[in-house]
Amino acid sequence: MFEGFTDERIDVGEVELRVRHGGSGFPVLLVHGHPRTGATWHRVAPRLVAQGFTVVCPDMRGYGRSGKAAIRDDHGQQSKRAVAGDLVRLMRALGHDRFAAVGHDRGCYVVLRMALDHPDAVSRLVVMDGVPISEALARCDAAFARDWYHWFFFAQPDKPERAIMADPDAWYSAARPESMGAENYSELRAAIHDPATVRAMLEDYRAGLGIDREHEEADRRAGRTVRCPTLFLWSSRDDMEDLYGDPLAVWAPWVDDLRGARIDSGHHQAEENPEALAAALAEFLG
């Protein structure tokens, strides 16, 4: 994976981040979701480099081989504000004061927070397969609670760690080396078998139901919006439209300049249809 990329660890203050980066041209930050690592982009990143971009693929704090911060009572160490701050400092350390930010799944909440908190840093925003946490919770019904029960289970103390660590491969059985690629799958398995990483990934969800929701609701009260051009990409074989009808309508109040498109894929677009995803990204970021 990532032939020609640099693979290193960079100190961003509270933690060190594992990051792969390569290419030349305008910088693009790719932020993974749960329970993936930066390796999820291994089929997309080289395609963007070939299109003339510099591409940066970190493991978020708490995930993969990146550092784990000390846990706080409010779970703020894993808040999207904390993670976004890490990644802005990472990009500056790599020489990129202004860049495009792309986030999938839990990563889409991070790049949304980044665009709101650091508008001078983010030139273009891409959010994939998610709506703002506060919007999802405001619309939560029995169908959401059934299909997305893990949001609420993961937020409970201790029991999720015990359940996952009893048999990590069974818990994450949907992950397959055939679709992910062998090296990407190997990184995921290392992550889900590490108790510190599992706890940090669960802290992501605990922060989501509390401090992250509070931050988003404060933004709405203050009338803050994303000022840069924004693209929402959703998977045609996932449940965005089942849950929200037109997901662009959910995003519209948050973004001044919104575009959207479906990708013919299941949830993990970067692994399942990297060609279409890379093409959509290159066209929007071009």
**What CATH code is carried by the domain that includes residue 101?**
3.40.50.1820
Average pLDDT over residues 72-91: 98
Strand partners, 23: 54
Q: Number of structural domains, the chain?
A: 1
Question: 57 pairs with which residues across the strands?
Answer: 20
Provide the pLDDT for residue 240: 94
* Helices of type H across 26-105: 45-50, 80-93
- Position 264 in a domain: yes
Phi-psi region of 4 (alpha: psi -120 to 50; beta: other; left: phi over 0): left
> What's the pLDDT band for 176 if we cut at 50, 70, 90?
very high
Alpha carbons 12 and 86: distance in angstroms, whole number: 6
In a domain, 1, yes or no: no
Structural domain includes residue 114: yes
The predicted structure's pLDDT at residue 203: 98
- Computed over every residue of the chain, the mean pLDDT equals 97
Q: What band does 114 get if pLDDT is binned at 50, 70 and 90? A: very high
Mean of the pLDDT values across residues 261-279?
A: 97
Structural domain including 145 reads: 6-285
267 in active site: yes
Strands 230-235 and 99-104: unpaired
Q: Is 215 a catalytic residue?
A: no
User: For position 235, what pLDDT does the model report?
Assistant: 97
For residue 157, give Cα distances in angstroms to 162, 199, 221: 10, 10, 30
**Catalytically annotated residue among 42, 75, 96, 267:** 267
Among residues 59, 105, 129, 204, which one is catalytic? 105
Q: What is the average pLDDT across 135-155?
A: 95
Judge whether 256 lies within some domain. Answer: yes
- Could you tell me what percent of the chain has a pLDDT over 90? 99
pLDDT on residue 234: 97
Predicted local distance difference test score (pLDDT) of residue 9:
98
So what's the pLDDT on residue 282?
97
When pLDDT is averaged across residues 270-276 and rounded to a whole number, the result is 97
